[in-house]
């Protein structure tokens, strides 16, 4: 195994700024084969990612975390995307139902600390349960989303999953996203048309006013202290140079180098 750090990816990230989302997904597929999957919460950008993947026909899996308290519209969007785009959507679930969790731990999402615990149990842990199955995950984070995502890299190290996170749509702005959706008649979550700019669990998501930031509808009841759930490592404050361990030949191919063991 060989160590791959965020610092190792600086040159590649710089080069990838010029690439289109399709080119980046193609690169990822060539590099990782079926050790690559996508992750989507079935929001607007995730729908576009699913559409792009359906066009490329690589047969990659799409991971969806069902917290057990998603809106029915989100689950319907997942099912429509799986069926109409012919994608293999894998639903990941928490160990406990929300009822079981509440009986054991109380109503966690009513406090900032509890929210982190709840998101960890219902979102992050179901994903880390498949750690080791994938060397890379495609996501749909975009810099236009603002906040922590303003500077999200195309390639990011995910220490929790020991894999590379690839954000092929990082440079796609809102206008380009909307154009892609209308030109390709992309299936989107109907809640977006009801004022939801981002969509997560029904307990913690509300619509936003036109002049509010996009994420104002997330954990509104907790004030400005809760903004991200933690399932995307680049949303959180990372270690100085996060690192993962991947097979040596894979790291060499990612970085476009050959290791000379004679040195
Ligand atoms: S968004 Fe709310 S209900 Fe969903 S996992 Fe996080 S704290 Fe729990």
**Residue 263 located in a structural domain:** no
**Residue 261 pLDDT > 60, yes or no?**
no
CB 196 within 8 A of CB 207: yes
Whether residue 184 is contained in a domain is answered as yes
For residue 11, is it within any domain?
A: yes
In a domain, 49, yes or no: yes
What confidence category does residue 230 fall into, taking pLDDT thresholds of 50, 70 and 90? Answer: confident
Secondary structure class of 201 (helix, strand, coil)? strand
DSSP sequence for 68-133: S-B-HHHHHHHHHHHHHTT-EEEEE--SS-HHHHHHHH--GGGSHHHHHHHHIIIIIHHHHTTTTS
Structure confidence at residue 262 as a pLDDT band (50, 70, 90): low
pLDDT surpassing 70 at residue 26: yes
| Residue 200 alpha carbon to ligand 1 centre in Å | 8
* Owning domain of residue 102: 2-255
CA neighbor of 130 nearest in space, from 67, 229, 64: 64
Is there a domain that residue 50 lies in?
A: yes
Site to substitute for ligand 1 among 74, 105, 123, most atoms within 8 A of C-beta:
123
Q: What is the pLDDT of residue 233?
A: 87
The verdict on the CB of residue 115 being under 6 Å from ligand 1 is yes
How many angstroms separate the alpha carbon of residue 258 from the centre of ligand 1?
A: 44
Q: What is the mean pLDDT of the chain?
A: 94
68 C-alpha vs ligand 1 centroid, how far in Å? 10
Express each pLDDT in 3-20 by its tens digit: 999 999 999 999 999 999
Q: What percent of the chain has pLDDT over 90?
A: 83
What distance in angstroms lies between residue 70's CA and the mean position of ligand 1's atoms?
Answer: 9
Give a yes or no: residue 262 inside a domain.
no
153: left (phi over 0), alpha (psi -120 to 50) or beta: beta
CB 183 within 8 A of CB 169: no
- Per residue in 111-161, pLDDT tens? 999 999 999 999 999 999 999 999 999 999 999 998 889 999 999 999 999
The percentage of the chain sitting over the pLDDT mark of 70, rounded to a whole number, equals 96
Nearest-CA residue for ligand 1 atom 2 is 204
Q: Which of 71, 97, 98, 109 to mutate to test the pocket of ligand 1 (most atoms within 8 A of CB)?
A: 109
pLDDT at 122: 98
| CB distance 109 to ligand 1 below 6 Å | yes
Instruction: Using the predicted structure, report yes or no on whether residue 236 has a pLDDT greater than 90.
Output: no
229 annotated active-site: yes
Q: How confident is the model at residue 239 (pLDDT cuts 50, 70, 90)?
A: low
Residue 229 CA: nearest ligand 1 atom is 6
Asked if 170 and 152 touch (Cβ cutoff 8 Å), the reply is yes
Q: What is the pLDDT of residue 238?
A: 67
Residue of 118, 119, 201, 229 with catalytic role? 229
Whether residue 194 is predicted with pLDDT greater than 60 in this model: the reply is yes
Q: State residue 4's pLDDT score.
A: 97
Distance CA 204, CA 221 (A): 8
**Residues 197-219 pLDDT 10s:** 999 999 999 999 999 988 888 98
pLDDT at site 22: 98
* CATH number assigned to the domain comprising residue 175: 3.40.50.620
pLDDT at 234: 84
3-state secondary structure of 231: coil
Provide the domain count of the chain.
Answer: 1
């Amino acid at each position: 195994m060989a160590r791959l750090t965020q610092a190792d990816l600086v040159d590649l990230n710089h080069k990838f700024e010029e690439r289109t989302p399709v080119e980046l997904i193609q690169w990822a597929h060539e590099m990782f084969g079926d050790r690559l999957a996508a992750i989507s919460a079935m929001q607007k950008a995730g729908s576009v990612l699913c559409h792009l993947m359906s066009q490329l026909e690589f047969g990659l899996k799409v991971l969806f975390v069902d917290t057990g308290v998603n809106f029915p519209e989100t689950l319907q969007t997942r099912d429509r995307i799986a069926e109409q785009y012919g994608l293999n959507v894998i639903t990941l679930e928490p160990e406990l139902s929300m009822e079981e969790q509440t009986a054991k731990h109380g109503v966690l999402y009513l406090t900032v600390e509890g929210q982190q615990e709840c998101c960890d149990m219902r979102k992050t842990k179901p994903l880390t349960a498949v750690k080791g199955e994938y060397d890379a995950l495609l996501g749909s984070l975009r810099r236009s989303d603002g906040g922590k995502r303003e500077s999200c890299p195309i390639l990011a190290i995910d220490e929790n999953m020991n894999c590379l996170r690839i954000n092929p749509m990082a440079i796609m702005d809102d206008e380009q996203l909307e154009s892609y959706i209308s030109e390709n008649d992309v299936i989107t979550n109907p809640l977006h048309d009801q004022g939801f700019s981002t969509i997560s669990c029904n307990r913690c998501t509300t619509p936003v006013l036109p002049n509010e930031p996009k994420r104002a509808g997330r954990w509104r009841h907790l004030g400005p202290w809760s903004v991200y759930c933690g399932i995307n490592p680049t949303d959180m404050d990372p270690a100085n140079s996060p690192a993962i361990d991947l097979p040596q030949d894979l790291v060499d191919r990612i970085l476009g180098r050959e290791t000379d063991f004679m040195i």
